[in-house]
Homo-oligomer: A and B are copies of this chain.
Amino acid sequence: MAAFSFNKLVIFGVGLIGGSLARALRERARLSGRVVGVGRSAASVARALELGVIDEAAALDDDAALARALEGADIVLLAAPVAQTQPLLARIAPFLAPTTIVTDAGSTKSDVVAAARAALGARAAQFVPAHPIAGRESSGVDAALPELYVGRNVVLCPQPDNAPEAVERVAAMWRATGANVHCMSEAQHDRVFASVSHLPHVLSFALVDQILDAPDAELKFSFAAGGFRDFTRIAASSPEMWRDVCLANRTALLAELDAYTDVLARFRAAIEASDGAALEAAFARSRVARTEWQERGALKSSGDPAAK
Chain A residues proximal to chain B, CB less than 8 Å: 133, 135, 152-153, 155, 182, 184, 188, 191-193, 195-197, 199-214, 216, 219-240, 242-244, 246-247, 250, 253-254, 256-261, 263-264, 267-268, 271-272, 274, 276, 279-287, 289-291, 293-294, 298-299, 302, 304-308
Interchain CA distance A202-B199 in the complex, whole Å: 15
Q: A287 — which chain B residues lie within 8 A by C-beta? A: 205, 235-239
Contact at B263–A209, with CB atoms within 8 Å? yes
Q: A239 — which chain B residues lie within 8 A by C-beta? A: 279-281, 283-284, 287
Q: A244 — which chain B residues lie within 8 A by C-beta? A: 276
Contact at B231–A254, with CB atoms within 8 Å? no
Contact at B227–A267, with CB atoms within 8 Å? no
Interchain CA distance A244-B245 in the complex, whole Å: 37
How many whole Å from A276's CB to the nearest CB in chain B? 5
Q: A204 — which chain B residues lie within 8 A by C-beta? A: 231, 286
What are the 6 closest A-B residue pairs judged by CB atoms, nearest first? A226-B307, A239-B283, A208-B286, A239-B284, A196-B224, A243-B280
Q: A280 — which chain B residues lie within 8 A by C-beta? A: 239-240, 243
Contact at A271–B254, with CB atoms within 8 Å? yes
Q: A212-B289, A272-B250 are in contact. Are A197 and B228 (CB under 8 A)?
A: yes
Interchain CA distance A155-B222 in the complex, whole Å: 12
Contact at B279–A225, with CB atoms within 8 Å? no
Contact at A200–B254, with CB atoms within 8 Å? no
Cβ 8 A contact of A230, one of B193, B195, B233: B233
List 23 interface pairs A-B (beta carbons < 8 Å), by A numbering.
A133-B225, A152-B225, A182-B223, A188-B216, A196-B221, A197-B227, A203-B264, A204-B231, A205-B287, A208-B285, A221-B289, A221-B298, A224-B293, A224-B299, A226-B304, A226-B307, A230-B231, A231-B233, A236-B287, A239-B279, A240-B280, A247-B274, A254-B271
